[in-house]
């Protein structure tokens, strides 16, 4: 593999608490996506949660721990029967920058603890960022967060 760039650092702001202890147990789709998880934001950053509205949708970016060697062609959804595709057209967690992007529903928020629906992360996953969700209907090119 050709030379790659030096890594850059990012700082986790908290951690996921969920009933899932193994990646294969975290539901990718289906009704179990509705399982509630908790995001615990570290005290240093909790004031940054001001004005977050329970009932809204938010983006959650997590730092994943790749379990496989990096491959540029992968089976989508880990399905060995599906033809391999370019990594960047898939949601594989095994990426040069293993950052997940998940839109979740904020059920409630209290003292730095966000109860969310739709976050399929194993317990202990590091949270890198939270961003506001902006509806993209009719103006997909204008969205940025």
Using the Cα atoms of residue 115, residue 60, residue 63 and residue 35 in order, give the sign of their dihedral: positive
Positions in 94-113 near its own copies (CB under 8 A): 95-105
Specify whether the CB–CB gap between 63 and 98 falls below 8 A.
yes
> Which residue from 25, 55, 54 is spatially nearest to 120, judged by alpha carbons?
25
Among 40, 75, 78, 85, binds its own copies (CB under 8 A): 85
What minimum distance in Å lies between the beta carbon of 70 and its own copies? 9
| Residue 66 contacts its own copies per CB under 8 A | no
Q: Residues in contact with its own copies, total (CB under 8 A)?
A: 70
Can you give the three-state secondary structure of 104-136, one letter per residue? Answer: EEEEEEECCEEEEECCCCCCCCEEEEEEECCCC
Residues that bind its own copies (CB under 8 A): 1-5, 7-13, 28-29, 33-34, 42-52, 57-59, 61, 63, 72-73, 85-91, 95-105, 117-118, 120, 126, 128-133, 136-137, 140-145
């Amino acid at each position: 593999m050709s030379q790659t760039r030096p890594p850059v650092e990012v700082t986790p702001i908290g951690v996921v608490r969920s009933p899932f202890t193994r990646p294969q147990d975290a539901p990718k789709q289906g009704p179990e996506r509705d399982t509630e998880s908790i995001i615990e934001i570290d005290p240093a950053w909790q004031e940054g949660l001001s004005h977050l509205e329970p009932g809204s949708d938010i983006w959650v970016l997590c730092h994943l721990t790749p379990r496989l060697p990096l491959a540029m062609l992968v089976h989508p959804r880990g399905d060995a029967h599906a033809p391999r595709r370019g990594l960047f057209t898939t949601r594989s967690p095994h990426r040069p920058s293993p950052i997940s992007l998940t839109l979740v529903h904020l059920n409630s928020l209290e003292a730095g603890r966000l109860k969310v629906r739709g976050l399929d992360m194993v317990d202990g996953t590091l949270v890198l960022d939270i961003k506001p969700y902006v509806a993209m209907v009719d103006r997909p090119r204008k969205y940025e967060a």
